[in-house]
Structure 1
Amino acid sequence: MAMSSILNADDIKKALDAFAVADSFDHKKFFEIVGLKAKSADDVKKVFTVLDADNSGFIEEEELKYVLKGFAKDGRDLTDKETKAFLKAADKDGDGKIGVDEFAGLVNE
């Protein structure tokens, strides 16, 4: 499933452009700009499924690094610092990965 079938392509581009510089990523602002905060719980789960590249039911640290590419192929990789901060913000149970409920909670913060 393509992210553009869930979210508006212009919003995706705006969000990626807003965080094009390394170490500028802010998940709260990103989810707001990309329009994910305004989406239904079902759509948030669909986005999670797209980002869960290995279909494990979790977004692991390695997948988080490429999260912006999940929104568009030309998205940049997150830096190690950004990846770790994103994981820390989302991983409420401390298991080192993000489950669908943790992801939904992060989006709706």
Structure 2
Amino acid sequence: MPTPLAPRPAAPPDRVAFHRTELGPILGLYGRMVAAGEWRDYGISCLRDVAVFSIFRRTAENPLYRIEKRPALRLRQGQYAVFGMEGQVLKRGNDLAAVLRVLERKLIRAVE
């Protein structure tokens, strides 16, 4: 009589990716900025330890902003971060909506 196999522990994912619930707010903000004429292109990279949403003014340039998801930092600094063009951290945290607010401020302009 064969012995029953023990259930395997869940294997860690081989790549980090944005979930549909995370892409909704990101693409909503992206659409508003495209409509305002600020942004023109984006790229998504899914790597082993980080997922990156890069925002470009023009396709051939370096990204204006990078929205990163690093689950390994979830219990430390927060798994979401927004980086500027020079690599500076603009906002970091576990709440994606709060982290994206730093970019929404760019959409608000004073009307003369």
**Fold similarity call, TM over 0.5:** no
Higher helix fraction: Structure 1 or Structure 2? 1
Higher relative contact order (Cα pairs below 8 Å, separated by 6+ residues): 1
- TM-score under structure 2 length normalisation: 0.27
Structure with greater strand percent: 2
Alignment TM-score, normalising by the size of structure 1: 0.27
Which structure is larger by alpha-carbon Rg, 1 or 2?
2
